[in-house]
Amino acid sequence: MALDQLTVRHWGNACYEEVWHAMQDFTNQRGPETQDELWLVEHPPVFTQGQAGKPEHILNLGDIPLVNSDRGGQVTYHGPGQLIVYLLLDVRRKKLGVRHLVTSMEVAIVELLSEYNIRAYAKADAPGVYISDELGIEHKIASLGLRVRRGCSFHGLALNVNMDLAPFLRINPCGYAGLPMIMTAPLGGPQTIDEAQSQLIPKLAEQLGYPHLYHTTEKLIL
């Protein structure tokens, strides 16, 4: 088996808890020869709270469920029209640190947006990808959250493509009160999930050092 090949698993629209528990099982059961994977997903509306999440950042859940997750970071929102990419990597075998993973995700997203003449940037003190409008007001377009266990990573990134941003007003996104969110579609960037992922995944694979990709829609049976 070629360990420089990355399996890209297309889940489609799937429940957050189903995919989260599948990530845990995959990580628990993988061995030294298990191939690394990226999982591409869209989730039905859900708020997720990170391990160190503070309850005061949850303002009004309304009719959207909250899941207490084992990823890093504070509370965020997932919903249709948002591209989720989960990184299931043996970071010990690949000799990748968490900082390298974060930077790789940020650089791949910034490079994607630059191809649409959208100037985006990362911040050393607040993981994610940001855009400043003509008034200099900063908006967040992508959020990151990871977990590393047994030398292997799971969870990953969420890129806002073409979605309802209103649920973000019910929380302090990523723990920042009043942080405005933005998405690619109205900026002239990717209009659909398919468009975004077809361009983002090769860039992310390159940043992570995987020259070969294998795409599949097969669901895992763990």
- Phi, psi of 134, rounded to the nearest 5 degrees: -65, -15
> Percent helix, strand, coil in the chain (nearest 5)?
30, 30, 40
**Of residues 28, 66, 49, the one with CA closest to residue 173:** 49
Which amino acid is residue 222, in one-letter code?
L
Cβ-contact 76, 47 below 8 angstroms: yes
- Phi, psi of 154, rounded to the nearest 5 degrees: -150, 180
Q: Reduced to 3 states, what is the DSSP secondary structure of residue 200?
A: helix
Q: Note whether residue 171 is domain-resident.
A: yes
Instruction: Please report, for the domain that includes residue 90, its CATH number.
Output: 3.30.930.10
Report how far residue 164's alpha carbon sits from residue 149's, in angstroms, rounded to the nearest whole number: 33
19 annotated among ligand-binding-site residues: no
Q: What phi-psi label fits residue 128: left (phi over 0), alpha (psi between -120 and 50 degrees) or beta?
A: left
Q: What residues are labeled active site?
A: 174
Report how far residue 222's alpha carbon sits from residue 152's, in angstroms, rounded to the nearest whole number: 17
53 annotated among ligand-binding-site residues: no
pLDDT tens-digit series, residues 19-34: 999 999 999 999 999 9
Q: Note whether residue 98 is domain-resident.
A: yes
Q: How confident is the model at residue 106, as a pLDDT?
A: 98
Report how far residue 175's alpha carbon sits from residue 217's, in angstroms, rounded to the nearest whole number: 34
Q: Note whether residue 93 is domain-resident.
A: yes
Core vs surface per residue 74-99: b (16+ CB within 10 A) or e: bbbbbbebbbbbbbbbbbeebebeee
122 annotated among ligand-binding-site residues: no
Q: How many domains does the chain have?
A: 1
62 annotated among ligand-binding-site residues: no
Q: Which residue has the tokens 């990573």?
A: 153
Cβ-contact 213, 205 below 8 angstroms: yes
76 annotated among ligand-binding-site residues: yes
Question: What mean pLDDT comes out for the span 51-74?
Answer: 94
Q: Note whether residue 74 is domain-resident.
A: yes
31 annotated among ligand-binding-site residues: no
Q: Where does the pLDDT of residue 4 fall: very low under 50, low under 70, confident under 90, or very high at 90 and above?
A: confident
DSSP-derived letter for residue 159 is: E
For residue 48, the enclosing domain spans 5-216
Q: Note whether residue 163 is domain-resident.
A: yes
Q: Note whether residue 126 is domain-resident.
A: yes
Question: What mean pLDDT comes out for the span 211-222?
Answer: 86
Q: Note whether residue 221 is domain-resident.
A: no
Is residue 2 scored above 90 in pLDDT?
no
Q: Note whether residue 222 is domain-resident.
A: no
136 annotated among ligand-binding-site residues: no
158 annotated among ligand-binding-site residues: yes
pLDDT tens-digit series, residues 76-134: 999 999 999 999 999 999 999 999 999 999 999 999 999 999 999 999 889 999 999 98
pLDDT tens-digit series, residues 166-204: 999 999 999 999 999 999 999 999 999 999 999 999 999
